[in-house]
Amino acid sequence: MASDAHGASPGSDAAAHGAAAGLAHHFDSYEQQRDSAALGIWTFLVTEILFFGGLFAAYGLYRSLYPEVFRASSHTLSIQLGTFNTVVLIASSLTMALAVRGGQTGKGKLAAGFLVLTLVLGSVFLVVKGF
Partner 1 sequence: MTATASAAPAAATTPDGSPRTHYLNAAYGLKSWLLTRDHKRIALLYLVSISVFFALGGLMAVLIRMELATPEGDLFQPDIYNRLFTMHGVLMIFFFLIPGIPAVLGNFLIPLMIGARDLAFPRINLLSWYLYSAGGLLTLWALLHGGVDTGWTFYTPLSTNYVTTSVLTVGVGIFIAGFSSILTGLNFVVTIHRMRAPGLTWFRLPLFVWGHYATSIIQILGTPVVAIAILLIAAERSLHIGVFDPKLGGDPVLFQHLFWFYSHPAVYIMILPSMGVISELVATFSRKPIFGYRFVAFASIGIAVLGFLVWGHHMFVAGQSIYAGVIFSVLSMLVAVPSAIKVFNWTATLYKGSISWDTPMLYALGFIGLFTIGGLTGVMLATLGIDAHVHDTYFIIAHFHYIMVGGAIMGYLGGLHFWWPKITGRMYPVFWSKLSALVVFVGFNVTFFPQFILGYLGMPRRYHSYPPEFQVLNVMSSAGATVLGLGYLMPLIYFIWSMRYGPKAPANPWGATGLEWQTTSPPPVENFLIQPVVTAPPYTYPAPKRAPEVTVGV
Binding stretches for partner 1 (CB under 8 A): 1-3, 6-15, 24-26, 32, 35-36, 39-40, 43-44, 46-48, 50-55, 57-58, 61-62, 65-66
Q: Which is nearer to partner 1, 42 or 131 (CB)?
A: 42
The residue (of 14 and 77) whose beta carbon lies closer to partner 1 is: 14
Query: How far apart are CB 79 and partner 1 at their closest, in Å?
Result: 26
Q: Phi/psi at 13 (nearest 5 deg)?
A: -100, -5
Closer by beta carbon to partner 1, 64 or else 74: 64
Q: At what angle are helices 108-129 and 79-104 packed, to 10 degrees?
A: 160
Pair 86, 126: CB distance under 8 Å: no
| Distance in Å, CB of 77 to partner 1, minimum | 19
Rounded Cα–Cα distance for residues 120 and 131 (Å): 17
Cα–Cα distances in Å, from 76 out to 69, 72, 80, 126?
11, 8, 12, 18
Smallest gap from Cβ 40 to partner 1, in A, equals 5
* Smallest distance from partner 1 to CB 7, Å: 5
